[in-house]
Structure 1
């Protein structure tokens, strides 16, 4: 939350506020902040989260380099521990640990849950995260219960302290239809995991950028970042 000259504060980042002035949307944004953005999970949000089967998670490292990933499970796999705290499990994956690695450097996370089937609506949750091993998680949150589904066991948990929760409008959410299918949760079978779907194996891992005129040094000039943190640090990126 950014402080204004008169001592009041507005949700959002300085970049949001600057562009709202440039594009003339500040009044519309203020109505949205006032009507839809909260610093906690309201009861209807809790109910919504309880029936979600997937969530998109965005993270960034200490230098602001971003990553977006998908987490999925049976309804209820995202736990609401209280109105200011939720948690989701981390299962065995490819070993890269991109999201967790980012969180270890920069605790800020963004989560997006979307109902594509029934209500055609989405929920954003932004906050700060910490990583707990499964045993640690259950010691700290002894009452937490979750059905991971057959063949799945959480290795660790991401516990998120909620800072912002707000709606994602349904205007451009496509309607999808639920189909019944069995999922190979926990499998190590490469084919069932997707194999080399994008035909990556065997290609050059890196290609000199000068071979791509659109991606020369000038074309790929780094944007100035506001998230230059020291390694392993978690620091507030915007004033609240």
Structure 2
């Protein structure tokens, strides 16, 4: 089911039309070169800067060869083995937030080649990402493989928030997480509009270290406490 279906917050947002076309507020004022043709993926700003910096040919080749409006089979396999995803959102006024979501392999559910979902576990109660989605359903997801292939996947699209019970009623095939403290409260369902590779050139090689996680805790010390000394700072 895509973003036009059931769910609250983020529903009713019109997907980009045509697919792969992003509209922005325009290029920076100092860039006066013509904006690229509207049928290309990307924003007017990036098209203008491609003209200004002489990268149009390279960008057009990337658009043509790598940017797709759905999850290809290799992308589906990649998503299903990921244990983290970086989530970029902004509110209705364009104020941005970037956050991290993580879980065991498979915590990212691929519902079909144009729809994926990730769970929202118990957190600090701020709901920064969900609050943004409730105002502006456009989201950007970045998944990175630091261990095996050192490669990344971008997914851009529109999101809606669905309560856990409603989500499983819509998608009974998605398993319930049996781990205590890791039961989703709700899900973010993303309708895919763009999917493309992230270059491995600057992705560091990392090695897994076994780690016990306190999934259900509200103990400040076990969650990281006042690591940055913010409590007494003004």
Which TM-score bucket, shorter chain as reference?
Answer: 0.7 to 0.9
Pick closer, same or farther for the CA change 1:175–1:146 going to 2, 3 Å: farther
User: How many residues matched?
Assistant: 204
The residue number in structure 2 matching 1:42 is 72
The residue number in structure 2 matching 1:220 is none
The residue number in structure 2 matching 1:226 is none
* 1:150 Cα deviation from its structure 2 partner: 3.7
* 1:149 Cα deviation from its structure 2 partner: 3.4
The residue number in structure 1 matching 2:230 is 200
Rg (Cα) greater in structure: 1
* 1:2 Cα deviation from its structure 2 partner: 6.6
Is contact 2:36–2:44 with CA below 8 Å preserved after alignment? no
Is contact 1:74–1:147 with CA below 8 Å preserved after alignment? no
The residue number in structure 1 matching 2:198 is 168
- 5 Å-filtered alignment, 1:1-240, equals 1=21, 9-147=39-177, 149-204=179-234
**Which sections of structure 1, spanning at least 5 residues, go unmatched?**
205-240
Q: Tell me how far apart the structure 1 counterparts of residues 210 and 35 of structure 2 sit (CA, whole Å).
A: 56
3-state DSSP class of the match of 2:221?
A: helix
Pick closer, same or farther for the CA change 1:8–1:2 going to 2, 3 Å: same
**Which sections of structure 2, spanning at least 5 residues, go unmatched?**
1-20, 24-33
3-state DSSP class of the match of 1:48?
A: helix
Pick closer, same or farther for the CA change 1:56–1:2 going to 2, 3 Å: closer
* 1:152 Cα deviation from its structure 2 partner: 1.0
Pick closer, same or farther for the CA change 1:128–1:92 going to 2, 3 Å: same
The residue number in structure 2 matching 1:211 is none
Q: Tell me how far apart the structure 2 counterparts of residues 65 and 96 of structure 1 sit (CA, whole Å).
A: 16
Cα displacement string for residues 170-189 of structure 1 (whole angstroms, at most 9, x for unaligned residues):
00000000111111111111
Aligned-residue RMSD, C-alpha? 1.8
The residue number in structure 1 matching 2:30 is none
Pick closer, same or farther for the CA change 1:72–1:7 going to 2, 3 Å: closer
* 1:147 Cα deviation from its structure 2 partner: 3.3
Pick closer, same or farther for the CA change 1:128–1:182 going to 2, 3 Å: same
Is contact 2:119–2:188 with CA below 8 Å preserved after alignment? yes
Pick closer, same or farther for the CA change 1:7–1:121 going to 2, 3 Å: closer
Could you state the TM-score of these two structures normalised by the residue count of structure 2?
0.83
Q: Tell me how far apart the structure 2 counterparts of residues 14 and 192 of structure 1 sit (CA, whole Å).
A: 45
Is contact 1:73–1:148 with CA below 8 Å preserved after alignment? no
The runs of at least 4 consecutive aligned structure 1 residues that moved more than 6 Å come to 2-8
Is contact 2:137–2:160 with CA below 8 Å preserved after alignment? yes
Q: Tell me how far apart the structure 2 counterparts of residues 2 and 103 of structure 1 sit (CA, whole Å).
A: 17
